[in-house]
A and B are shown apart, each in its own frame.
Chain A
Amino acid sequence: MATTRSIPKSSWDTLHNNGPFPLKTLHVTELEGSANMFSKYDRYNDVAKEIQRLIREAADKNEGFRPYGSAWSLSHIAHQKDNMHFNGFMSIHIPVPQEFSHEDSPYANENLFFFECGNTIKRISEVLSSHGKSLKTSGASNRQTIAGCISTGVHGSALNVGSIQDYVVGLNLIIGDKPTDIVYLERHTKPALTDDFASKINARVIRNDHLFNAALVGLGAFGFIHGVVIEAEDRFLLKRYVKKIDRDLALELADTMDFKNSTFKIDGEVDDDGKPLHPYHYKVFINPYTDEQEYVVEVMYKKPYRANYKDPIPDIKTSLYKDLIYLLIKISEKFPKSIPWFIKQLRKTILPAVNEETEGTLYEIFWDAPYQGPAFACSVGIDHTHSSKAYKILEEMTQKEGPIPGIFAMRFVKQTDATLGFTKFPITCMLEIDGVLWEKSRKLMSLTEYSRRMIEVLQENNIPFTIHWGKNSDWQFPNLVEDMFGDKVTEWKSYRNGLLSTEMQKVFSNGFLEDTKLNIPNPTNDEDLIVSL
């Protein structure tokens, strides 16, 4: 039997110290050992029952319940004031045999993998690598759990791929404590696995594109994500370059994504006609406090996998003294004008080394990032054609009303199908500023004030935008989510209200959903939304 330790705890915090937030109980569930329960399906179904017990317990106390993984989100999206459940030990991987592939599946069976919620990106990559496969993309590092990634929309900068949720093709949710409350969701237009597979995990199948897309970036509000089916691809290498290029050229590429006709050319990265190749990844780093004519850009090109390449992970990794960072922040809070100088001095630590060339798998290129103290990140999604305009506006605001201790970066992501995915534009530019968390002082505005000004200036300049669910913002800003997603909000709520009972909607709610008003049901709902199509 799976066992849970339920420990009273007065507070909980994110990895990056964005709290603390109040809490009553922290639950940690571990699976029955494989020596006592041989079948992976049995262990998986056994722990599902344990989760259902915990959900019932919370509901009976009129309390909320929220699972979390690596606590990597910087916003309060993972927090629930009553009961939080640590998923990290729920990390089964179940192979998908050919007979479980749906007859209408567009996916090659060898590319389908089923992972339990607490598997990290790193672990999944290792499992895939042992099969000669790879994830299609990841975030900038690898410690997030798969369920956390898709719930919040974690993305990299893969121009033609999308975010992590975009290669998820099946979702196993626990939406209550009854036997029928274990569901397996897929798109009806792209089924992946058979009903027999679903019955192996005791789930009822619902194949419905709209429901699937709503639950995909579900913000933890669609129940407990117990397992996901992902589509992998053949293992590949990424050739990574870090260059300094003319500022106007870097921004022009951001606005147009027209690499083929640009003057930005890297030796060897050209097509048969000598034209520049379209990269796999493009990222621009910008220090808002210097008027440099050149920006640092990171560009990666996809290459077929081969065994004989130099390991890109260095033998020695160093990091700054945390005490030094704390000291600089304390000085910055008293003397904000010193921030640009500090950032300039630390540029070698903050920015990647220019003219660096490395090659490795996705797993190696986006490898471990250790805890480095309190951090913040504000990240807005905009149509890439607005990249330079939006940056100028935010840079000006940051210079005039700041400074704040962080630098900007731009990453670019293909459009998602998820109803509330923030990468909603054909190519979304994720324009982010991140750095060291500071405290409001007489001379330095707070992080919430700064992020509120980001929203205001983008609205004033009529630039449509979204905000990364897992990053810092003024989440109570009036009508924020409606302004970002319009009618999609009603659609998302309709499917949530249809799938979850009223009682369970309350159980799977939290302060974040309340702040964004996403916990409030639609006034009326269509009755028969939750059906297979």
Chain B
Amino acid sequence: MKLQKKIFVRWCAAIIVCCLLSSCYSVRLKNKFGDPEPDPFNDTNDYYRYMKVREIDTTIKISVTDKDFEKIIKDCPQGIYIVEYRNTFGGVLLSAITFGRKRKVKAKYVCLKPTN
């Protein structure tokens, strides 16, 4: 009986881990045109190396009557080069238990390089 319980707990844990992993992903939307705004001081070893990256990590609260929302990007007058939107299990859960009133927004973006 004890052994069966242990196996059950392990399976549950495995399923939860799988859910967490598969619900956590990111998508990049990239402009075909233009250069990324450079940042020679950003020497991280990731996709954004030497690009000026801006991040949004916030939770938006909307009322029950609001259908959707727009988060306004105010610092890219030239346009967007790339946006990476990240979906997390916590974000999905938060939206679900608040009936969509609280929405986690986690995104990175790079503006287009200003042209002269």
Closest-CB distance, B28 to chain A (whole angstroms): 9
Q: How far is the CA of A520 from the CA of B18 in the complex (A)?
A: 63
Contact B116 A143 (CB under 8 A): no
Is B90 interfacial (CB 8 A cutoff)? no
> Cβ of B40 and Cβ of A122 under 8 Å apart?
no
A126 and B34 in contact, given A88-B113, A91-B115, A371-B49 (Cβ under 8 angstroms): yes
A88 & B40 in contact (Cβ 8 Å cutoff)? yes
**Contacting pair A17 B115 (CB below 8 A):** no
Q: Contacts of B50 on A, CB cut-off 8 Å?
A: 15, 70-71, 371
How many residues from B make CB contacts under 8 Å with A? 17
Contacts of B79 in A (CB 8 A): none
Contacts of A116 in B (CB 8 A): 116
Distance in angstroms between the alpha carbons of A122 and B34 in the assembled complex = 7
Q: Least Cβ distance of A6 to chain B in Å? A: 12
In the complex, A31→B50 CA distance in Å?
20
Inter-chain contacts of B45 with A (CB < 8 A): 17, 322, 373-374
Interface flag for B32 (CB, 8 Å): yes
Q: Are B49 and A92 in contact (CB under 8 A)?
A: no
CB-defined interface of B85-99 with A at 8 Å, one 1/0 digit per residue? Answer: 000000000000000
B35 is contacted by which of A7, A120, A367 (Cβ under 8 Å)? Answer: A120
Q: Is the interface of B mostly helix, strand, loop or mixed?
A: loop
Bound CA span A31–B115, Å: 11
Q: Is B57 an interface residue (CB 8 A)?
A: no
Per-residue contact bits, chain A 1-44, to B (CB 8 Å; 1 contact, 0 not): 00000010100010101000000001010010010000010010
A286 to chain B, nearest CB (A): 29
- Tell me the residues in window 4-61 of chain B with beta carbons closer than 8 Å to chain A beta carbons: 32-35, 38, 40-41, 43, 45-47, 49-50
**Residues of the B chain whose Cβ atoms lie less than 8 Å from the Cβ of A40:** 116
Cβ of A370 < 8 Å from any Cβ of B? Answer: yes
Q: In the complex the two chains form, is B33's CB within 8 Å of A126's CB?
A: yes
B-side contacts of A123, CB under 8 Å: 34-35, 113, 115
Please, what's the 1-or-0 string for A313-324, where 1 marks a CB less than 8 Å from any CB in chain B? 100000000100
CA distance A378 to B37 in the complex (A): 30
| B35, B38, B40: residue with the most chain A Cβ atoms closer than 10 Å | B40
Q: A86-B38, A126-B33, A371-B49 are in contact. Are A34 and B116 (CB under 8 A)?
A: yes
On chain B, the residues within 8 Å of A384 by CB distance are none
- Determine if A92 and B116 form an interchain contact, defined as CB atoms under 8 angstroms apart: yes
A370 touches B47 (CB 8 A): yes
What would be 28 A-B contacts, judged by CB atoms less than 8 Å apart? A7-B41, A9-B41, A13-B43, A15-B49, A15-B50, A17-B45, A34-B116, A43-B116, A71-B50, A86-B38, A88-B38, A88-B40, A88-B113, A89-B38, A91-B115, A93-B116, A116-B116, A122-B34, A122-B35, A123-B34, A126-B33, A126-B34, A143-B35, A313-B32, A370-B47, A371-B49, A373-B45, A374-B45
Residues of B at the A interface (CB closer than 8 Å) are: 32-35, 38, 40-41, 43, 45-47, 49-50, 113-116
9 shortest A-B CB distances, which residue pairs?
A: A86-B40, A92-B116, A88-B38, A371-B49, A91-B116, A120-B35, A122-B35, A123-B35, A13-B43
